[in-house]
Structure 1
Amino acid sequence: MPVTQNTGNRPTAVVVDGYSAGNFYPRAFAELGADVLHVQSTTDLMPTLSPPRLSEYALNVVCADGDMESLVQRLKPYAPVCVVAGQDGAVTMADHLGEALGVPSNGTLLTQARRDKYEMIEALRRAGVRCADQFKSADPRAIAAWAAERDSYPVVVKPLSSAASDGVSICKNAEDVRRAAEDVLATPDIFGKQNREILVQSYLSGTEYIVDTVSADGVRYTCDVWQYEKSLLPNGKNIYNRDLLVDGSDELVAELTAYVDEVLAALDVRWGPAHAEVIMTPDGPALVEIGTRLSGHIDADFNNACLGHNQAGLTALAYLQPEAFQKQYGHKTYSRRRPAVIYEAPTTLNGTVTAVDEDIVAEIRALDSVHDVTVKLKPGDRITPTVGLLTSVLRVLMSAPDEHQLTADYEKVRSLKESVYHVAE
């Protein structure tokens, strides 16, 4: 039953644009006794992201005109205790709304640096934190000239504000740079906004890791670290294959965590979740980017099984019971309960999907280590050879008591993945 105002008996949390991973928030807050309201920042739902499950919220407030003053007045009667971003594009609104409502938040002073990839790295540079060299421009020729002047390829070309490797290219020469820059300007980002500037950065050589954290008033907990297993295609796009859960006791995790602590401080991230991508270079860790939102990896039940917790639940605890969070998790690091893998299955198929072979999907689901399978395409959809994270065709969550079982089941899934879809050219 929709709430009309806060009665004082239950706290109220606000989620802005709870797409994709943000769908785990309603359950997380509800389990701690909170009502959850949703703010929708567009008139229509964004078609490029998994939509918010609005039935799980007490109320959905549409604020498509950006009128923050009216939105604040609309929400004040519910006495919210926090505002969280449901996805990357919601960070700016969530920061402004949280500050205006006077609830614990990261504030607006460094909001742009927490969202704009150029400002993000410059904030690290000012704080003396190891980071990439970079340049931005609206002119592809200027981007190419910067790369040519450095004469140190490869370089990375990307949009200023997007997500999920959208528009990211690794370029080996000036022509690749120019072409990638033009592609960025010609294509809207994953949130449907037109790219108006291009970012080019020095290439960080090394293994890439995910470092996920949750903070309560500046007290941080590292809730998981994953190693990316990926390969670079000739077109400069990365295929993300397996993401491997690193043992929390590994010395590498301590080094990555210490670096991410510097990043969080430089960007004034004091509250809520953060999802950082960090490359371990020969000189030490260096940030690719960080988002102050839930990891796209999150699956509450899967994370609970292999970690004993999940980032959405920890975030709810950090806001609703900060002292309890700090006592149990403050300045600590997770323990891995079971080895785990997230497999973003690539494909070489090209054509139109005519059918999904449910028998093959059932065979994959029946493997002992498989927790869940997401079949990303349906009959009638176009399937093309994978060129990045957004064009993988299956997402398989896997966990097992030992590495041998996990590897064996992973190899079985690999052998079956191209049989999931029936395709007509």
Structure 2
Amino acid sequence: MVDGHSTGRALVAALTRRGASCVHVQSSEDMPAFFTDGFDPTHYEACLTGAGDPARLAGELAALGVTSVVAGTESGVVLADILAHHLGLDGNHPATSAARRDKATMGRAAAEAGLTVPRTWSFTDADEARTWYARRRLTDVVVKPPSSAGSDNVWFCRTPDEVRTACTRVLAARNLYREPNPTVLVQERLRGVEYYANTVSHAGRHRIVEVWRYSKRLGPDRRPVYDHEDLVPAGSEESAPLRDFVPAVLDALGVRHGAAHTEVMITNRGPVLVESGARLGGGTLPWVVEKYCGVSQTSLLAESLLDPDRVAAFDDRTVRSLGALRNIALISRTAGTVRSLEWAARLEELPTFVALSHHLRPGEHLGATIDLPSSPGFVYLAASDPQAVDRDYRQLRALEETDLYLT
């Protein structure tokens, strides 16, 4: 597993439960704590560094008896492709890796396949972007890095000066994986209902395991902040527009094996690709999804790594849910010091509470939530009655208005 962080931690646990032994490869020595917190090397037979010659590393993995290579999170995608290729194992070809990591290349590949994508322009100079925007007489646009995740440095802009400011910030920053941003993307802002589909593929056969409906809000500085996401059964009518579109996206991007997380906006033009990552979806507790759906992307990926025929046998049209399931991103309105974890007990008292995932510790500084990495964590609520979930969601947001995490 390359970069077994984020949902990669759940994947190694699922593989271990099924009797597999795993080896870890760290693609970079400079991974941010947002990913590495919670990493446990005892889950692996060996931990290797990905720096240096990939052919040499592939030789080490072959000597250890490695039979599959998988990315645990976005930063591991390219190296996982390279290692699988060197080892002659199932994987996605390195020649098309850029289409799965760079959003501009991704958009071109999807458009060439006849799929609808947002109009996108790439710049290396913020003033040039400002001038271009002013001449185009556009309204809303989205400014973002070419390769990142989790709403990192994503800005909604309406004026030429806002475009220049946002582009300057992106070009001067490193992305979520501490990689430089050589360019900045300016995209038309899509309007509609946004979904994501979590898939598992083998030999070009794609199965949609999970579909979720996004809800995001606009932060005080015009940056998108994750609000919540609601489970949409993969076999439901609501998910029907994604069933043909998402597999076509994966084909266009060269995804033949493994997991993918694909974001799609349903607009008056039909489905439009937002972006796709050739890895597991993040911000999830797979055991919760399995409890309410019987399967998760993580569980099917684990099974398929040990028995590839599981993908072909899986019928995604039969996936149903036991009721309403909502994943809520926690939002801290203000910055301050975390005094205690009493707030967690208050959330657990909500009648529809299922599970909580957070990274807070008493005494540490908590910044205001401006994007996904700065969120304190997430909570699952579930009930047979969607209105019960909505009531508890509103109660949670009301508690947050009282500086819940700082008291």
TM range (shorter): over 0.9
What corresponds to 1:69 in structure 2? 55
Following superposition, the deviation at residue 374 of structure 1 comes to: 2.7
Distance 1:333 1:188 in 2: 42
Following superposition, the deviation at residue 386 of structure 1 comes to: 2.6
Question: In the alignment, is the contact (CA less than 8 A) between 1:131 and 1:286 conserved in 2?
Answer: yes
In the TM superposition, what are the counterparts of 1:12-31 in structure 2 within 5 Å?
15-31=1-17
- The one-character-per-residue Cα deviations of 1:248-277 (angstroms, maximum 9, x if unpaired) are 343231112211111011112111111011
Find out whether 1:285 has 2:271 as its counterpart. yes
What corresponds to 1:334 in structure 2? 319
AA aligned to 1:386 is T
Following superposition, the deviation at residue 23 of structure 1 comes to: 0.5
Question: In the alignment, is the contact (CA less than 8 A) between 1:36 and 1:57 conserved in 2?
Answer: yes
Partner of 1:156: helix, strand, or coil? strand
Find out whether 1:60 has 2:42 as its counterpart. no
Percent identity over the alignment is 32
AA aligned to 1:337 is L
Partner of 1:64: helix, strand, or coil? coil
Distance 1:354 1:289 in 2: 35
| Bigger mean CA deviation after superposition, 235-244 or 84-93 | 235-244
Partner of 2:301: helix, strand, or coil? helix
What corresponds to 2:375 in structure 1? 392
- The one-character-per-residue Cα deviations of 1:179-231 (angstroms, maximum 9, x if unpaired) are 00000112211111222211111111111111111111111111111111122
Any unmatched runs of 5+ in structure 2?
Answer: none
What corresponds to 1:345 in structure 2? 330
AA aligned to 1:411 is R
Distance 1:407 1:272 in 2: 34
Change in Cα spacing, 1:234 to 1:409, as seen in structure 2 (3 Å) is closer
Following superposition, the deviation at residue 354 of structure 1 comes to: 4.5
Distance 1:332 1:251 in 2: 10
**1:268 aligned residue (244, 254, 259):** 254
Distance 1:252 1:150 in 2: 36
Following superposition, the deviation at residue 142 of structure 1 comes to: 2.1
Partner of 1:148: helix, strand, or coil? helix
- The one-character-per-residue Cα deviations of 1:113-152 (angstroms, maximum 9, x if unpaired) are 1000110001011111111111112111222233233322
CA RMSD across the alignment: 1.9
What corresponds to 1:87 in structure 2? 73
AA aligned to 1:250 is S
Following superposition, the deviation at residue 296 of structure 1 comes to: 0.7
| Bigger mean CA deviation after superposition, 176-185 or 230-239 | 230-239
Distance 1:86 1:309 in 2: 19
Question: In the alignment, is the contact (CA less than 8 A) between 2:31 and 2:178 conserved in 1?
Answer: no
Distance 1:119 1:264 in 2: 14
Question: In the alignment, is the contact (CA less than 8 A) between 1:307 and 1:338 conserved in 2?
Answer: no
Partner of 2:238: helix, strand, or coil? helix
What corresponds to 1:248 in structure 2? 234
Question: In the alignment, is the contact (CA less than 8 A) between 1:186 and 1:195 conserved in 2?
Answer: yes
**2:97 aligned residue (84, 98, 111):** 111
Distance 2:366 2:148 in 1: 23
TM-score, normalising length: structure 2: 0.94
Following superposition, the deviation at residue 170 of structure 1 comes to: 1.1
**1:416 aligned residue (369, 378, 399):** 399
Partner of 2:198: helix, strand, or coil? strand
Question: In the alignment, is the contact (CA less than 8 A) between 2:171 and 2:184 conserved in 1?
Answer: yes
Question: In the alignment, is the contact (CA less than 8 A) between 1:222 and 1:333 conserved in 2?
Answer: no
In the TM superposition, what are the counterparts of 1:25-64 in structure 2 within 5 Å?
25-43=11-29, 45-51=31-37, 52-64=39-51
Any unmatched runs of 5+ in structure 1?
Answer: 1-14
Find out whether 1:141 has 2:127 as its counterpart. yes
What corresponds to 2:244 in structure 1? 258
Question: In the alignment, is the contact (CA less than 8 A) between 2:55 and 2:83 conserved in 1?
Answer: no
Question: In the alignment, is the contact (CA less than 8 A) between 1:213 and 1:223 conserved in 2?
Answer: yes
Partner of 1:348: helix, strand, or coil? coil
Question: In the alignment, is the contact (CA less than 8 A) between 2:3 and 2:27 conserved in 1?
Answer: yes
Distance 2:287 2:227 in 1: 22
Following superposition, the deviation at residue 108 of structure 1 comes to: 1.2
Change in Cα spacing, 1:58 to 1:300, as seen in structure 2 (3 Å) is same
Distance 2:201 2:141 in 1: 33
Question: In the alignment, is the contact (CA less than 8 A) between 1:274 and 1:294 conserved in 2?
Answer: yes
In the TM superposition, what are the counterparts of 1:101-250 in structure 2 within 5 Å?
101-233=87-219, 235-250=221-236
What corresponds to 2:340 in structure 1? 356
Following superposition, the deviation at residue 347 of structure 1 comes to: 2.5
Question: In the alignment, is the contact (CA less than 8 A) between 1:299 and 1:310 conserved in 2?
Answer: no
Question: In the alignment, is the contact (CA less than 8 A) between 1:80 and 1:103 conserved in 2?
Answer: no
Question: In the alignment, is the contact (CA less than 8 A) between 1:104 and 1:319 conserved in 2?
Answer: no
AA aligned to 2:332 is T
What corresponds to 1:12 in structure 2? none
What corresponds to 1:6 in structure 2? none
**2:387 aligned residue (396, 404, 422):** 404
Change in Cα spacing, 1:250 to 1:354, as seen in structure 2 (3 Å) is closer
- The one-character-per-residue Cα deviations of 1:95-126 (angstroms, maximum 9, x if unpaired) are 01111111111111210110001100010111
